[in-house]
Amino acid sequence: MKLKIASKKTLANFINLLIKKEDRRLIGPKRKDKENVVFAPISSWDELCLANTVTLLPPKQFLFPNGEELIRFEMEGKEVKRVYSSLELEPQIIIGVRPCDIHGILHLDKIMNAENADCYYIKRREATLIIGLDCLEPLDDYCNCASFNTLEVTEGFDLFLTEAKDRYYIRIGSPQGEALLANCDEIIEAKEEELKELYKKRSLLFPRHLKLSVEELPAFLASDKVYNHPYWEELGRQCLSCGSCNIVCPTCYCFDVREEMSLALNTGSKCRYWDGCHLGSFAQVAGGFNFRGKTFERVRHRMYRKGKYQVEKYNQVACVGCGRCARACLVNISPVTTYNNLAQSAYIAQKGDER
Amino acid sequence: MEIQSAYIPEIAEILEIRQFTEKERFYRLKLLSGKPLNNQPGQFVEVTVFGVGEAPISVSSPPSSTEPVFELCVREVGSVTTALTYLAPGDKVGIRGPFGKGFPVEEFKGYDILFIAGGLGIVPLRSLIKYTLEYRHCFGFLDILYGTRTPGDILFRDELISWRNRQDLNLLLTVDIGYRGWIGNVGVITTLFPLLRKLEPVQTKVAVCGPPVMYKFIIRELRDIGIPDENIYFSLERKMKCGLGKCGHCQINNVYVCQEGPVFNYALIKQLEEAI
């Protein structure tokens, strides 16, 4: 993969040119208020916030929008006249996507392309270019990419920026990415060694909070002792079932399907809305029976889904260590702390058995 | 841009509606495409009442490779199933599916079959029962245990009478609460086991469908008789929203019921926490 370099000013000009071209909208991190940065449409380089801040939500919403229309139908009285599916696609470039979020997108790519491929996601993804943004230091204390091996990215982007003082290294990740740079004479070839030098100190700056290795996580969770551990009930007493963790997660994609009618009752649509397995009614069936009626069962389901179930299905741990769920949680539940506490108490219990 | 999507339902016309009980209705439908539904016994479809929504419903008719007609039996319990009660013959609904894995009828061939239905569980089991009656010579003896809450909740009465008159089939009914005029068994479904003829455990396949609470008690009875776990098949109820293994609502641990179920071999799911 080719490496280039540009001054900040050159990159700014390049981004402004991309915006001017108008064949794709540009989405990037933008300051929403004093505390929060969000992914939003960008109309100039100055609006971009590439500072060390984690966005409130991952860029998932631009590939898997909340409330996406699945089908549309036309009615004449009670009679349905036409049912079809229509997709409004807006070609886009998402800039400023951090390594953890690129891993999140790669995870969704895998799932949405698996059996019963999701045409909506796939079409949006195909119309999207990703310009990643490297992390040279953790954005805050919640960052856990080092624990989940998601700091390094080798795919899932078209271009990838690494900031170095007043310049940006630009890694080319795809022919489309390379095409974007065509005719930008001021963006020149760079040496790999320079970037390696930048990376030298990096690993020391990213602490591994997770006491298990990510590879041993699924096997660890497979133990009955861990599944039936009383710690889950303790978490269940804390969890408010608010579903914030689901909403901010780059790899959560569960959804509800709802039907909506126009006021004139002559057209309607079926739309999917983000849903969350932490919400009380998620596994409830008609008639009221709830297959995960207890809060602790739902906490456990999510932690197992991230650390075990998705691995069994898609061969990938579904936590990318972005830390958003822990930041959003009102009672400070985090996957890393949960796994660590279980590992510690399982270890203690094991020692106890040996005695 | 118009696209092909797995969410676009086929249109089906309601041919016939019969009110079975206060809450349960029988629907005979016909796919306007003229193609057969091609269901396996035990599979489900997603039924759309346009403008209201979609709900997963078990198919109650046996597979047909030629006719585009199929049958459902629906309990009025949520918004979609209530909207279905407002429809009349000639009205149209949307159908997606059939989805999931049904009962493995090929593996059942050559075996005696014990059907155990609790309440609405008779609906998917009827598809299998009718299939075995259609290919009667392929199967051994058939026993059907069917329990409902009250005598008034018994579904498919005409068919039950014709089944009861057969020599090659043994039908046992029970109700949780009897009332005057009911001369049959009173008690939960497990109270029928002592009335059952002596089964050949390894020669018997069991198909079970009922409310979640029933399964644990059924397993105990079946183990007492000596039926191997791998001969037992359960149909599990979950909230399938998409039918495509994506929306997450029907997930039991790492298993998507809409893909790998709703019918499961007990030996394969007994380790699965939360399943039953």
Of B1, B52, B211, which is closest to A86 when you measure between CB atoms? B1
B112: domain CATH number is: 3.40.50.80
Number of domains chain B is built from? 2
Whether B53 and B179 share a structural domain: no
User: Could you tell me if residue B77 is inside a domain?
Assistant: yes
Whether B236 and B139 share a structural domain: yes
**Which is more confident, A53 or B116?**
B116
Of B2, B244, B254, which is closest to A85 when you measure between CB atoms? B2
Whether B222 and B138 share a structural domain: yes
Give yes or no for a contact between B36 and B66, defined as CB atoms under 8 angstroms apart: yes
CA distance A305 to chain B (A): 7
DSSP structure string for A309-325:
IHHHHHSS-S-----HH
B44: domain CATH number is: 2.40.30.10
Give tens-digit pLDDT for B143-165: 999 999 999 999 999 999 999 99
Bridge partners of A26, per DSSP, are: A93
Sign of the Cα torsion B58, B62, B63, B66 reads negative
pLDDT computed for residue A351 by the predictor: 53
Q: Which residues of A touch B31 (CB under 8 A)?
A: none
Whether B20 and B131 share a structural domain: no
Give yes or no for a contact between A93 and B222, defined as CB atoms under 8 angstroms apart: no
Whether B178 and B60 share a structural domain: no
Whether B173 and B206 share a structural domain: yes
**Mean pLDDT, rounded, of chain B:** 94
Location of structure tokens 């061969």? A315
pLDDT computed for residue A350 by the predictor: 57
Whether B95 and B121 share a structural domain: no
User: Could you tell me if residue B276 is inside a domain?
Assistant: no
Residues B253, A309: C-beta atoms closer than 8 Å: yes
User: Could you tell me if residue B4 is inside a domain?
Assistant: no
ipTM score assigned to the predicted complex = 0.89
Tokens of A276: 């969350």
Q: Buried b vs exposed e over A236-260: b needs ≥16 C-beta within 10 Å?
A: beebeeebbbbbbbbbbbbbbbebe
Of B7, B54, B259, which is closest to A85 when you measure between CB atoms? B7
CA distance A1 to chain B (A): 34
**Domain membership of residue B81 as a residue range:** 10-99
How many Cβ atoms from other residues are within 10 Å of residue A330's Cβ? 10
Measure the CA–CA gap between A91 and B242, rounded to whole angstroms.
27
Give yes or no for a contact between A173 and A159, defined as CB atoms under 8 angstroms apart: yes
User: Could you tell me if residue B3 is inside a domain?
Assistant: no
Please identify, among B77, B99, B121, the residue that sits at the C-terminal boundary of a domain: B99
Q: Which residues of A touch B78 (CB under 8 A)?
A: 286-287
- Asked if residue B49 has pLDDT above 90, the reply is yes
- Whether the CB of A304 is below 8 Å from some CB of chain B: the reply is yes
Of B8, B92, B238, which is closest to A79 when you measure between CB atoms? B92
Residues B245, A284: C-beta atoms closer than 8 Å: no
pLDDT computed for residue A349 by the predictor: 60
- Asked if residue B50 has pLDDT above 70, the reply is yes
User: Could you tell me if residue B5 is inside a domain?
Assistant: no
Q: Which residues of A touch B241 (CB under 8 A)?
A: 255-257
- Whether the CB of A263 is below 8 Å from some CB of chain B: the reply is no
**Residue B239's closest chain A neighbor by CA?**
A285
CA distance A310 to chain B (A): 7
Residues A257, B77: C-beta atoms closer than 8 Å: no
Measure the CA–CA gap between A237 and A246, rounded to whole angstroms.
18
**B156, amino acid identity:** F
User: Could you tell me if residue B240 is inside a domain?
Assistant: yes
Alpha helices in chain B (DSSP H): 79-85, 105-108, 122-134, 157-164, 214-225, 257-260, 266-269
pLDDT computed for residue A148 by the predictor: 94
Whether B113 and B90 share a structural domain: no
Give tens-digit pLDDT for B67-99: 999 999 999 999 999 999 999 999 999 999 999
Our CA angle for B41, B108, B124, nearest 5°, is 20
Whether B131 and B221 share a structural domain: yes
Distances (CA, A) of B92 to A79, A270, B2, B48, B217: 7, 17, 23, 9, 40
Statement: the pTM of the whole predicted model exceeds 0.90:
yes
Measure the CA–CA gap between A143 and A93, rounded to whole angstroms.
25
Instruction: Indicate the pairing of strand B44-49 with strand B69-75.
Output: unpaired
Q: How many helices (H) and strands (E) does chain A have?
A: 15, 12
| Weakly modelled stretches of chain A, pLDDT under 50 | 354-355
Instruction: Name every residue in B having a CB less than 8 A away from some CB of A.
Output: 1-9, 11, 48, 50-55, 75, 77-78, 81, 91-92, 94, 211-212, 237-239, 241-242, 244-249, 251-254, 259, 273-274
User: Could you tell me if residue B274 is inside a domain?
Assistant: no
Q: Which residues of A touch B3 (CB under 8 A)?
A: 85-87, 119-120, 123
pLDDT computed for residue A78 by the predictor: 83
SS3 category, A333: coil
pLDDT computed for residue A347 by the predictor: 61
Tokens of A138: 């953790």
User: How distant is the alpha carbon of residue B176 from its chain centre?
Assistant: 20
- Whether the CB of A78 is below 8 Å from some CB of chain B: the reply is yes
Tokens of B27: 């629907």
Please identify, among B76, B99, B122, the residue that sits at the C-terminal boundary of a domain: B99
Whether B153 and B222 share a structural domain: yes
pLDDT computed for residue A165 by the predictor: 87
Instruction: Indicate the pairing of strand B142-148 with strand B112-118.
Output: parallel
CB pairs under 8 A between A and B: 133
Whether B74 and B142 share a structural domain: no
Residue ranges per domain, chain A?
3-205, 214-347
Alpha helices in chain A (DSSP H): 8-21, 99-113, 119-126, 145-148, 175-181, 192-200, 202-205, 217-221, 224-227, 231-238, 244-248, 295-304, 310-314, 324-328, 335-354
Whether B66 and B130 share a structural domain: no
Please identify, among B63, B78, B99, the residue that sits at the C-terminal boundary of a domain: B99
**Can you tell me the mean pLDDT for B236-248?**
91
Of B8, B239, B274, which is closest to A284 when you measure between CB atoms? B239
**Can you tell me the mean pLDDT for B131-138?**
95
Give tens-digit pLDDT for A156-190: 999 999 999 899 999 999 999 999 998 888 888 88
pLDDT computed for residue A203 by the predictor: 81
pLDDT computed for residue A348 by the predictor: 61
- Whether the CB of A313 is below 8 Å from some CB of chain B: the reply is yes
Tokens of A27: 């989405």
Confidence of residue B190 (pLDDT cuts 50, 70, 90): very high
Give the distance between the most distant pair of CA atoms in chain B. 63
Which residues numbered 129-188 in A keep a CB inside 8 Å of some CB on B? none
pLDDT computed for residue A355 by the predictor: 42
User: Could you tell me if residue B1 is inside a domain?
Assistant: no
Confidence of residue B186 (pLDDT cuts 50, 70, 90): very high
